Amino acid sequence: MNSHSIRETAAVALSLLDLTNLKDDCTEAQIEALCARAQTPYGNSAAICIWPRFVGQARNILGTGHAVRIATVVNFPTGEMELADVAAETREAIADGADEIDLVIPYRKFMSGNEKAVTDMVKAVRAECADPVLLKVIIETGELKEAALIRRASELAIDAGADFIKTSTGKVAVNATLEAADIMIRAIRESGRKVGFKPAGGIGSVADAALYLSLAETIMAPDWAMPSTFRFGASGLLDDILAVLSGAQPASAAASGY
């Protein structure tokens, strides 16, 4: 890949990035830094993705109507909270200023055969997310493992009203993979609905990002990936994006993954 296209890919990846800090020991100072990092000399990331307890702080920093959206997580990371508690957590996050909700499905119940638990959870949280709040549904592909389960969880989430389906919490051994992405994007295509895709966890370079964008382009359309249909969930990807865009990293090094 030549230097022009790797820079182009870096710029696109920046516009699709949910810049994430979901570390257990995250601090208010780190949230302040995250809000600043999301606004780069080359443009803004699509969103920041943070714990619910920091949403109010981030909203105070960014103000209303900011180009950088605030995403937060519910039923995270285990997917094992009670439905009423997840609905309440969602309501509170939106009241605090969240623009986007990343919901973990009860994937262990799903793996034991309980599809209704997934449908009920997604529908309940969907009901709390009045327009324009986006609902991104995490199916935890690394734990589901089997293609048929990944496919079915994607279908259930889409049918119950997900705006996006997302691979992973980033908190398990296996996070985003191209294999899981392939299954999920095909499920979106076959649903015929306007649903987005978010690979998350383990995407650390522009070269990695390019592989996911290329896959999306192959399955959907060359111009399909935009902030309303595609996000990267990552904490480390921004460093590589900025290295490429600033010219600090030679394009040949950035492209070594092709």
What would the 3-class secondary structure string for the chain be? CCHHHHHHHHHHHHHCEEEEECCCCCCHHHHHHHHHHCEECCEECCEEEECHHHHHHHHHHHCCCCCCEEEEEECCCCCCCCHHHHHHHHHHHHHHCCCEEEEECCHHHHHCCCHHHHHHHHHHHHHHCCCCCEEEEECCHHHHCCHHHHHHHHHHHHHCCCCEEECCCCCCCCCCCHHHHHHHHHHHHHHCCCCEEECECCCCCHHHHHHHHHHHHHHCCCCCCCCCCECEEECCHHHHHHHHHHCCCCHHHHHHHC
- The single residue of 163, 198, 208, 240 carrying the catalytic annotation is 198
Q: Check whether 77 has a pLDDT greater than 90.
A: yes
pLDDT at position 13, please?
98
Q: Could you confirm whether 109 is annotated as catalytic? A: no
Q: Domain 3-252 belongs to what architecture?
A: Alpha-Beta Barrel (3.20)
If you average pLDDT over residues 48-57, what whole number do you get? 98
pTM: predicted TM-score of the whole model, two decimal places: 0.95
Cβ count within 10 A of residue 78: 14
> Which tens digit of pLDDT belongs to each residue from 200-225?
999 999 999 999 999 999 999 999 99
pLDDT at position 84, please?
98
Q: Check whether 237 has a pLDDT greater than 70.
A: yes
If you average pLDDT over residues 166-188, what whole number do you get? 98
Q: Check whether 5 has a pLDDT greater than 60.
A: yes
pLDDT at position 193, please?
98
Sheet holding 134-138, edge to edge: 196-198, 164-166, 134-138, 100-104, 69-74, 47-50, 17-21, 232-234
pLDDT at position 204, please?
97
Pick the closest to residue 120 from 131, 134, 106, 132 (CA basis).
106
Amino acid 185 reads I
All structural domains of the chain with their residue ranges: 3-252
- The single residue of 96, 166, 208, 240 carrying the catalytic annotation is 166
Return the higher-pLDDT residue of 182 and 253: 182
pLDDT at position 250, please?
62
Amino acid 55 reads V
pLDDT at position 43, please?
98
pLDDT at position 251, please?
54
Q: Check whether 86 has a pLDDT greater than 50.
A: yes
- The single residue of 102, 163, 208, 240 carrying the catalytic annotation is 102
Dig out the tokens for 142 from the structure. Answer: 């690394």
Question: pLDDT grade, residue 258 (50/70/90)?
Answer: very low
The mean of the pLDDT values for the chain is 95
C-beta of residue 203 within 8 angstroms of C-beta of residue 209: yes
Q: Could you confirm whether 24 is annotated as catalytic? A: no
Question: pLDDT grade, residue 255 (50/70/90)?
Answer: very low
